[in-house]
Amino acid sequence: MNSRVIDTGIEWSLMGVAAAILVADLNHLLEYTFIALAIVVLTRQIASRDRRLARTSLDVPILVFLGWVLISIVSATDPTYSFAEWLKLLAHVLMFFLAANFISEEGQVKRILGAFVVGVLLMSIYGIVEFFVADGSLVDQWYERTLRADSLTSEYNWFSTYLMMALPIVAVWALSTDHREWRIVLVVTLVVATFALFLTYTRAAWIAVAVQACLLVALKGSNVMKLVVAGMVVVALSTVIVVTMQDVPKGASGERGVEGHTANLSTLLCRLHIWELGVKDMSEHPITGLGYGTKTFARKYHDIHVSQCPPQLHNIHNSYMSFAFGAGIPALCFFVWIFWRILHTFWIGLVQGPSYFQRMFALGLLLMTVGLMIRITFDVMFLGMLAVLFWMLVGLFFGLQRTLIPTDLPSSRVT
């Protein structure tokens, strides 16, 4: 088959994955799609005389991380389950190598990102309509949080994290594009997606987006804008503190329950208790952990009930602690190493990128990564199709790295 036809098919498939990546009913189909694409691309790279596997600055930390998690499975409480979870982790990482080896032109990236933006817009519109059709109320949900926007995803946590990852990319692209009609689409998407994020009533995602916005202004805003944002942050923090202090007695007495007032600190206190249990177990099993996978913690503490907390502690509610709890502290160190390399690469791309688009794309991804690192501090969200989305977006940029000067990132070029 003609190589151009294969490339076109792969690109359109990636566009489809990008547009529908968090549609829950399509998750398995999309997983099979990107695994098949990864096999095709990587096999072609290995077999072709004119193509080689792209070397990136993430190769070593990713392989070390995967290797350590695999080794830790030997001492896991349920090796079969942990190995199945490791296979999922391997499949997620394949998306990175697929994108890094397939992408070579800005046009490819723009088309895939364009499909992603369209998907974000449609998902946001659906989530907003669904919320109000289900009799959602801005005032009532602020106090009760019994109904939250989740669009076509499995639940509001996934939807909010998806929007948090998308917003900085959409915002930076809207600020940098010269295409008038596309800027209008981007601005509309930004407004609609921001409102949809508000309707999820997910505080960790709100915090992550607020940090992203402040970082964007700090890096690209004028001095006046920086002062305005600083003032807004002070006012917002003061308001949150006042509202939170007023609501503590009500949350403590159980008037509104665990999922009551949005400013209620009860769920944070529950997380602190869960983290305390996790730290205790990590100190007892610091090297290989108790078994990779989110269900390991839930199985051990399935019968624990804490006053003012949910009946079951489903997971450790912290991705960093989840890696340390399941695969040991070395796994956590390797995971942080990966993120450090990613941030370092995006920063270099922002400063030294060969084109304006690549510099702005690096900025958007830098903001996305910082936001994700904050978001996963409060829940185990670096898994499933969210992880696939992250690796795909990161892989798109690493694919473009082939155009960088060798001395900028010596390990990022094919050799």
Condensed to tens digits (0 to 9), the pLDDT of residues 250-309 reads 444 344 445 566 767 667 777 888 888 888 888 888 999 999 998 888 888 776 666 666
Which of 45-54, 83-92, 378-387 shows the lowest per-residue confidence on average (mean pLDDT)? 45-54
In this structure, are residues 142 and 262 in contact, taking their beta carbons and an 8 Å threshold? yes
Q: Does 278 or 131 have the greater pLDDT score? A: 131
How many angstroms separate the CA atoms of 52 and 85, rounded? Answer: 29
- What pTM was estimated for this model as a whole? 0.89
pLDDT score, position 403: 47
- Long-range pairs of 263-269 with CB within 8 A, sequence gap ≥ 24: 266/308, 266/309, 269/308, 269/309
Whether the per-residue pLDDT at 53 is higher than 90: the answer is: no
pLDDT digits (tens, 9 = 90+) for 7-20: 889 999 999 999 99
Report the share of the chain in percent with pLDDT over 90: 54
In this structure, are residues 100 and 119 in contact, taking their beta carbons and an 8 Å threshold? no
How many angstroms separate the CA atoms of 351 and 411, rounded? Answer: 18
In this structure, are residues 151 and 126 in contact, taking their beta carbons and an 8 Å threshold? yes
Label residue 169 by pLDDT band (50, 70, 90): very high
pLDDT score, position 277: 82
Nearest to 196 by CA among 133, 150, 245, 261: 150
Q: What is the maximum span of the chain, computed from C-alpha positions, in angstroms?
A: 70
In this structure, are residues 28 and 91 in contact, taking their beta carbons and an 8 Å threshold? no
Q: Is 184 exposed, middle or buried (0-12, 13-18, 19+ CB in 10 A)?
A: exposed
Which of 51-65, 84-98, 150-164, 358-372 shows the lowest per-residue confidence on average (mean pLDDT)? 51-65
Q: Does 306 or 347 have the greater pLDDT score? A: 347
Section 81-93 average pLDDT: 94
- What lies within 8 Å, CB to CB, of 360 at 6+ separation is 172, 173, 175, 176
CA distances from 56 to 341, 345, 370, 373, 392 (A): 10, 10, 21, 21, 14
DSSP assignment of 222-284: -HHHHHHHHHHHHHHHHHHHHHHHHHHHHHHHTSS-TT--TT--HHHHHHHHHHHHHHHHHHH
Query: Helices 319-327 and 329-352, interaxial angle, to 10°?
Result: 140
DSSP assignment of 387-402: HHHHHHHHHHHHHHGG
Label residue 405 by pLDDT band (50, 70, 90): very low
How many angstroms separate the CA atoms of 48 and 42, rounded? Answer: 10
Q: Is 3 exposed, middle or buried (0-12, 13-18, 19+ CB in 10 A)?
A: exposed
CA distances from 147 to 144, 265, 273 (A): 8, 19, 26
